[in-house]
Amino acid sequence: VRFAPSPTGYLHIGGARTALYNYLFAKKMNGKFILRIEDTDLERSRPEFEKSQLEDLKWLGLTWDEGPDKGGDYGPYRQSERISIYKEYAEKLIDKGLAYYCFCTSEELEAMKEKATREGRLPHYEGKWKNEEFWEEARQRLASGEKASIRFKAPFKSYVLQDEVRGRVVFPEGMVGDFVLIRSTGLPVYNYCCVVDDMLMKITHVIRGEDHLSNTLRQLMIYEAFGSSLPVFAHVSLLIGKDRQKLSKRHGATSVSLYREESYLPQALANYLLQLGWSHPEEKDIFSLDEVSQIFDISRFSKAAAIYDLDKLKWVNGQHLRKQDIQTLVEQAKKVLPANHPFLAMNSNWQEKCLSLFKDQVNFLSELEGVLDENVFTDKINDSEKLQEILSWDSTQIIKTKLKEFILTIDADSLSSEVVEEWMSYFKSQNIKGKNLFMGFRACLTGKDHGPELKDLIPLTPLEIVKKRILSL
Of 218, 214, 212, which Cα lies nearest the Cα of 151? 218
Per DSSP, the residues of 98-134 read SEEEE---HHHHHHHHHHHHHTT-------GGGSGGG
Rg (CA), the chain: 33
The residues near 81 (Cβ < 8 Å, ≥ 6 apart) are none
With b meaning 16 or more CB within 10 Å and e meaning fewer, what string describes 278-298? bebeeeeebbebeebeeebeb
Contact 58, 19 (CB under 8 A): no
Note whether 429 and 344 are within 8 A (CB): no
What phi and psi values does residue 127 have, to the nearest 5 degrees? -70, 165
Cα separation, 68 vs 463, in Å, equals 58
Angle at the Cα of 215 (from 211 to 216), degrees rounded to 5?
105
3-state helix, strand, coil in the chain (%, to 5): 55, 10, 35
Residues annotated catalytic, as ranges: 249
